[in-house]
Amino acid sequence: MASGLAVTFEPRLLQHFPHELSNFLHSGITTGTIVTVLLHQFLPKSSKREEQEAHEESRAMVKQEIHELQQQEENQEVSQTELSAKGNN
């Protein structure tokens, strides 16, 4: 994103490139896309084990959040029942 913004806000960055190339890279969308594709190709990728661990951690967090929400709902139901019982007395 920064590369696309750089050529958009500071077009003089491309003045030393050949005319055809600078015309092509003048668009921030084009420059950002090219940089993104290159980074995707060259940056190291996570291993299957790392991905699996991340998925398992996410699942555990979701299960914990669901459990906490269920407990909150149960506590609210108990509180409402207690309030109703007090109101009837």
Question: Domain span at residue 24?
Answer: 2-42
| Cα 82 to Cα 37, 69, 85, 89, distances in angstroms | 60, 20, 5, 11
Q: Do 51 and 71 lie in a common domain?
A: yes
Number of domains present in the structure of the chain: 2
- What gap in Å lies between CA 71 and CA 65, rounded to an integer? 10
1-56 pLDDT per residue, tens? 788 888 888 878 888 889 888 888 888 888 889 999 999 898 887 778 888 888 89
Q: Do 69 and 31 lie in a common domain?
A: no
What pTM, to 2 d.p., does this model score? 0.45
- What gap in Å lies between CA 35 and CA 17, rounded to an integer? 16
55-82 pLDDT per residue, tens? 899 999 999 999 999 999 888 887 777 7
